[in-house]
Structure formats: structure tokens, C-alpha cells
Amino acid sequence: MGKIILEELVFYAYHGFYEFENKTGGEFKVDLEITLDFSEDIQDDRLEGTVNYEDLYKIVSNEMQIQSKLLEHVAFRIKKNIQETYTSITDIKVKIRKMNPPIKGRITSVGVEI
């Protein structure tokens, strides 16, 4: 077993509970951690038995463009889409952070992980 990790994929998107968030948007960062068995591919240097990083990025990018109120919902959709695309994956962690959230006080980000 091994892991494929994509960190800090940055998107400008329109997720949020408040109406102004849906109009003005904001910056989001996404991290993925994919667990799968790619032991044969390590030896043979083949892409066929592993996961294409570019395809993962496209899945995340497509889902980030669909406006949602909850980050939990966006993370769920990303995870589901990856699972349906790559059945060889045994575990997926999706972490989404909203940068500079509209909270009174000093805070860098809020987020979810599933």
C-alpha cells in the first residue's frame, strides 16, 4: 500500500452559507490523500495501475466550481467522484479550507476533512 498526496490545490470559488459569499467568492485550499496498492507500478514504472495526478486535480476543480453552502458537501462530492473513477483506491481523505472566512476575529482559515 502507498499514498498519493496532493497539497494546497488553490481555487477561487463561491461556497458559503451567507448570500454575500455566494456573490463575492473566496479562496479555498484542498488537500487529498489517496491510499492504494501500487506495488506493481513501483517496479514496472507504469501509470496504468496507479492514479493520474492531473485527473485528480480535474475532479477537484470541477467539484469546486459547483456552488455549495457547506464545505462538507463539497468534500463529499469530491470523495465520491474519485471513488467512482478509481475503484482501486482503498481510502481517501479530502480536506478543504476556506481562507479568510467571514468570522469576526483573527483567523486564517476554517475547514473540514472527510
As annotated, the active-site residues are 98
Residues whose CB falls within 8 Å of the CB of residue 55, separated by 6 or more in sequence, listed in order: 85
What secondary structure letter does DSSP report for 49?
T
Selection from 51, 40, 52, 46 nearest residue 91 by Cα: 51
State the Cα–Cα distance between residues 61 and 58, nearest whole angstrom: 5
**Torsion on CA atoms 67, 73, 78, 83, rounded to nearest 10:** -150
